[in-house]
Amino acid sequence: MKKFQVISIGSALKDIFILNKDMSCQGAKICHPFNPAVVGDKIKIKKMYFDIGGGGTNVAATLANMGVKTSLLARVGADLAGQEIIATMKKFQVDTRLITIDKKEETGYSVIFLDKDGERTALVFRGASDFADFNPTKVNQLKADWFFITSLNANLKLLNQLFAVAKKNKIKIAWNPGGAELELGSLKLKKMLRATDVLFLNIKEAQKLTGIKTKDIKIILESLSGLANKAAVVVTGGKNGAWVKNGPEILWADILDKKVVNATGAGDAFGSGFISGLILYKGNIRKSLQLGMLNSNSVVTQMGAKHGILKKPPREKELEKIKVKAI
């Protein structure tokens, strides 16, 4: 099997975006499909936006744009949406040979409602993208410098298999566990956390994993480092920026002052930008933090999870727009 720099492992979906401001109702001050006042009525929509989503495809797209040789391990249905996902990945020059086409399941979909601040409420049909019952073939033959693992819906069999292959073949692991994995608790995830090279979480996820309620980022990072003592621990805080703890040093990166249109895919953009930075800048944590934040900031200014990702590696002056300091 061909060796890649990174294999992105995660979901592949078709996304439909609807802005709250584009919905109109008769006789209701708040026009939202979950408002009891409009149940049974028709809601008119001025505009809809379509994109390919899912953590696996989002991560793969950024990595490929950064010039990193990338493959995607995911599952889609034998339908038009599945064909579109594969075609889109090929346009990004992502290798698609690890994508499984399931003839029994339909490709997953999500319908995402966005408020004026870009925050979302999503209706998700996972379909073929559901990793809970997905056990891809030839996992033991995977070859890469990195695995980037996003949510696998708590498929412990596959997770353990991936971590075992990584250990055997000296593959580094970047891990952004999803809600289903975090529900398992730190004890069940202990061995995998200790084998992770870069761990990505947002603040709420970090609090859930560690079991602490404090908002003190230093305490959160210290607690995470105790669970994943080998890893560089990265925590994102939305408009408050992002932090990384690598050994004793803690760095913080600020966001750019840009209006958020759509926060969907921001975490994937940050994580994939960060790992791209580690590859491009030979392990430089500061530049990796800047690249991750620059990519994430670009994504939230446009509709969809991929339209805003950086098209190529940024120049030094672009990176320096992201202010970084030690705390």
**CA distance linking residue 171 with residue 113, whole number of Å:** 38
Q: What is the pLDDT of residue 266?
A: 85
**Which residue segments constitute the domains of the chain, with CATH numbers given?**
3-13+55-108+130-326 (3.40.1190.20)
The CA distances from residue 46 to 107, 193, 210, in Å, are 26, 46, 43
> pLDDT per residue over 184-234, tens digit each?
999 999 999 999 999 999 999 999 999 998 989 999 999 999 999 888 999
Q: Is pLDDT of 117 > 70?
A: no
**CA distance linking residue 310 with residue 324, whole number of Å:** 20
Written as six digits, the tokens of 275 are: 């790992």
> pLDDT per residue over 2-60, tens digit each?
799 999 999 999 999 888 777 777 666 667 676 776 676 778 888 888 889 999 999 99
> pLDDT per residue over 231-283, tens digit each?
899 999 988 999 999 999 999 999 987 666 566 668 999 999 999 999 999 99
- Kindly state the percentage of the chain with pLDDT values over 90: 74
In contact, 262 and 17? CB cutoff 8 Å: yes
